[in-house]
C-alpha cells in the first residue's frame, strides 16, 4: 500500500493534515523532522507533506529537515511553515511580518494540478507572520494573497509544491479539493488503491488471532464508548469467547448508560463481566475538592477493581485497549508540553496489571474507528454518541464532590441530551452536558424564597476536541432546556450557558 508521511512541525496541524490525506484516499502517518528523510526513502512512501507549526524558519535552531529530502523526486507539499522551509532550503528568500491572520482572499494565477477546481478568487485561512518574499529558482508563483504575499508556488519540472495558507482547516472551503488534487493528480492514487479503514478489518482480526497464543484470554476494559466497544468486537471476532470484556460501573455514568452498555453487548452476543463498584468509587470521592485528585482516585480505584476482577479470569495474558493514533503520537511527544489535564494511560500499564498490551486501533483516527464500528454493525446511537470522559461526571462538578451535585449534573445532562435529540441537533454538536459548582442563586418556588445551584450548560462544536467553539443554538432550544432543568431538577434555580471557546477555556470545566 502506498502511503504518505507528514512531517510534524506542530501536532495539531500535522494530525489534521494526515486526516485530510486519509479522507482523500492516501494513508498517512506523522514523522518527526529529524526522521523525515529516512522515513521518506521507504519504498512505499509515495509523498511527503511538511506541516505548519508555531516556530519561525528565520529563528536559529528552528526545526528543519535534511535538504536531501527535496532530491528524492517524490511529491512534496509544504504548508505554511513547511512551505517557507521548502522555499528557503531551495534558495528562495523569506521576510518577516506583519503577515496575515484569518480569512484571506487569494488570487489564483496558475490553475495547476494542485489548484485545479479553484476559482480565480478563493477565500483561505491564513496564519503567518513570516512570508516567502522570493520563490526559489525553478519555481513559479501560482497564487497571491490580497495583501500581496505569495500564497502558493510550484516547481516547474519537479513535483514540489507549497502553500502559505492552511488547506487542512474547515475555514478554507476548497481545502479538501486541494488534498484530493494532491492525492489524485500529483501522487496518482488510483481508485482501487484508495485508503479505506473498513477494508483493513480482516487484517486486524487476523493479526489479533496471530498475536494471541492458543488458549490465552484477552481482557478488554469496556465503557460503552465507541473505541472500547470496537476493540471488544474485533477481539471477539478474532478469538471468540476468549475475549473477555470487563465493564466496571464507577457510578459516574450518564443516566441509563450502564444498562444500555449491558444491553448492547447482549445484542452483540458478547458476554461481559459486569462489576458494580459505584459505592466504592463514590465513597472514596466524597468531599474531594480538587479535580485532578478526583481523577487520581478514580484511576487508582479503577485499577484496583479491574485488577481484582481480571485476576479471576483464567489464562488472561493480554489487555486490549482502545488507544488511538493521536494518543500514540502524543505519548511520544511530551517534549516539555504542559500537562493541562491528566487524560490517558497510554504507553504502559501500572505494574500491578501484568498483561501484554494489545492496541488494535493504534493506527486509526476517531472518525475511522466510527466507520469501522458502523461496518461491524454497531447502531448509530453508539457510533455517533458524544465522547464522554473516563472519569465521567466527576469532571463536571466544581468544588466539593457530593452526591447531590452528582445527581444534579446527571439529571440536567439528561435533559440537555433529550432536548437536543428532540430538535435534531444532538448529532450536529461535539459534546453537550451540564456542569454544577458552588455558585448559588436565589429563586422563588411557589411563593417561597429558595436558594439553589447555578447549572451551566456547555454545548460545543469541534472536530477533534483540540479546539472547540460554543454552539450558537436557537435560543428557543436553550430556553426549553433551562426551563426544564429548573422545574425538574431539585435544588437548581438558575441555568447559564458557557460561551468561551477552547482555547482559552477547555471543554470540560475541570
Give the residues lining the site for ligand XMP (CB under 6 A).
295, 341, 343, 387, 389-391, 395, 431, 465, 502, 506-508
Q: Among residues 15, 128, 166, 250, which one is catalytic?
A: 166
In the residue annotation, 134 being an active-site residue is answered as: no
223 is in an annotated binding site: yes
> Is the CB of residue 175 less than 8 Å from the CB of residue 169?
yes
- DSSP conformation class of 182: I
Q: CB 81 → ligand XMP: shortest distance, Å?
A: 25
Q: Is 168 a catalytic residue?
A: yes
Residue closer to ligand XMP (CB basis): 72 or 303: 303
Q: Which is nearer to ligand XMP, 413 or 431 (CB)?
A: 431
Query: At 389, phi and psi to the nearest 5?
Result: -65, 145
Q: Is 184 a catalytic residue?
A: no
Q: Is the dihedral of CA 376, 382, 384, 387 positive or negative?
A: negative
Please indicate if the annotation marks 229 as binding a ligand.
yes
DSSP run (H or E) holding 150: strand 150-155
User: What are the DSSP calls for 353-411, one per residue?
Assistant: S--EEE-TTTT--HHHHHHHHHHTT--HHHHTPPP--TTGGGGGB-SS--HHHHHHHHH
Residue 227 marked in a binding site? yes
**Active-site residue, selected from the candidate residues 168, 368, 417, 419:** 168
Decide whether 242 or 414 has the Cβ nearer to ligand XMP.
414
Q: E-strand spans in 165-303?
A: 217-221, 243-249, 273-276
Contacts of 283 (CB under 8 A, 6+ apart): none
Nearer to ligand XMP, 381 or 474 (CB): 381
Cβ 408 vs Cβ 455: under 8 Å: yes
The residue from 15, 80, 184, 510 that is catalytic is 80
Helix, strand, coil proportions of the chain in percent (round to 5)? 35, 25, 40
Distance of CA 36 to the CA centre of its chain: 24
Q: What is the nearest approach in angstroms of ligand XMP to the Cβ of residue 407?
A: 20
Specify whether the backbone of 240 is left (phi greater than 0), alpha (psi in -120 to 50) or beta: left
Closest approach, Cβ 388 to ligand XMP, in A, equals 7
* Residue placing its CB nearer to ligand XMP in the complex, 57 or 324: 324
Catalytic residues: 80, 166, 168
Q: Summarize the annotated binding site for ATP as residue ranges.
A: 223-229
Residue ranges of the binding site? 223-229
Amino acid at each position: 500500500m502506498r502511503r504518505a508521511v507528514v512531517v510534524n512541525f506542530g501536532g495539531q496541524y500535522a494530525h489534521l493534515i494526515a486526516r485530510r490525506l486519509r479522507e482523500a484516499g492516501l494513508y498517512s502517518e506523522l514523522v518527526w523532522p529529524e526522521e523525515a528523510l529516512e522515513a521518506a526513502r521507504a519504498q512505499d512512501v509515495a509523498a511527503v507533506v511538511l506541516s505548519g507549526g508555531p516556530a519561525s524558519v528565520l529563528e536559529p535552531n528552528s526545526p528543519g529537515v535534511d535538504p536531501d529530502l527535496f532530491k528524492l523526486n517524490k511529491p512534496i507539499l509544504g504548508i505554511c511553515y513547511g512551505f517557507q522551509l521548502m522555499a528557503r532550503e531551495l534558495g528562495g528568500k523569506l521576510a518577516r511580518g506583519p503577515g496575515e491572520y484569518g480569512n484571506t482572499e487569494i488570487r489564483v494565477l496558475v490553475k495547476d494540478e494542485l489548484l485545479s477546481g479553484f476559482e480565480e478568487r478563493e477565500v483561505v485561512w491564513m496564519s503567518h507572520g513570516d512570508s516567502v518574499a522570493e520563490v526559489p529558482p525553478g519555481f513559479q508563483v501560482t497564487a497571491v494573497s490580497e495583501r500581496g504575499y505569495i500564497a502558493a508556488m510550484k516547481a516547474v519540472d519537479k513535483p514540489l509544491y507549497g502553500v502559505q495558507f492552511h488547506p487542512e482547516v474547515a475555514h478554507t472551503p476548497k481545502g479538501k479539493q486541494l488534498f484530493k488534487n494532491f492525492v489524485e493528480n500529483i501522487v496518482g492514487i488510483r481508485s482501487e488503491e484508495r485508503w479505506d479503514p473498513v477494508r483493513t478489518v480482516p487484517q486486524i482480526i487476523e493479526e489479533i488471532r496471530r498475536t494471541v497464543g492458543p488458549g490465552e484470554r484477552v481482557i478488554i476494559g469496556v465503557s460503552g464508548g465507541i473505541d472500547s466497544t470496537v476493540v471488544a468486537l474485533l477481539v471477539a471476532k478474532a478469538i471468540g469467547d476468549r475475549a473477555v470484556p470487563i465493564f466496571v460501573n464507577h457510578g459516574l455514568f450518564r443516566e441509563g448508560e450502564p444498562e444500555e452498555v449491558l444491553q448492547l453487548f447482549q445484542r452483540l452476543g458478547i458476554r461481559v463481566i459486569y462489576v458494580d463498584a459505584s459505592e466504592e468509587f463514590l465513597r472514596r470521592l466524597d468531599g474531594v475538592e480538587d479535580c485532578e485528585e478526583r481523577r487520581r482516585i478514580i484511576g487508582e480505584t479503577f485499577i484496583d477493581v479491574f485488577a481484582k476482577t481480571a485476576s479471576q479470569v483464567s489464562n488472561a495474558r493480554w489487555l486490549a485497549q482502545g488507544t488511538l493514533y493521536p494518543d500514540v503520537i502524543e505519548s511520544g511527544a511530551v517534549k516539555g508540553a504542559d500537562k493541562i489535564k491528566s487524560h490517558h494511560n497510554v504507553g504502559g500499564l501500572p505494574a500491578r496489571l501484568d498483561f501484554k498490551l494489545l492496541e488494535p486501533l493504534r493506527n486509526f483516527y476517531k472518525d475511522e474507528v466510527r466507520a469501522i464500528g458502523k461496518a461491524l454493525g454497531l447502531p448509530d446511537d453508539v457510533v455517533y454518541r458524544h465522547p464522554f470522559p473516563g472519569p465521567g461526571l466527576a469532571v463536571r462538578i466544581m468544588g466539593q464532590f457530593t452526591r447531590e451535585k452528582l445527581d444534579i449534573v446527571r439529571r440536567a445532562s439528561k435533559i440537555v441530551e433529550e432536548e437536543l435529540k428532540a430538535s435534531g441537533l444532538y448529532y450536529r454538536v461535539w459534546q453537550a452536558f451540564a456542569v454544577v459548582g458552588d455558585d448559588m442563586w436565589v429563586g422563588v418556588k411557589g411563593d417561597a424564597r429558595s436558594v439553589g445551584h447555578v447549572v451551566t450548560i456547555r454545548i460545543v462544536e469541534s472536530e477533534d476536541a483540540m479546539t472547540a467553539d460554543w454552539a450558537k443554538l436557537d435560543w428557543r432550544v436553550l430556553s426549553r432546556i433551562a426551563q426544564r432543568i429548573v422545574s425538574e431538577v431539585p435544588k437548581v434555580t438558575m441555568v447559564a450557558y458557557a460561551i468561551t471557546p477552547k482555547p482559552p477555556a477547555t471543554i470540560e470545566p475541570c
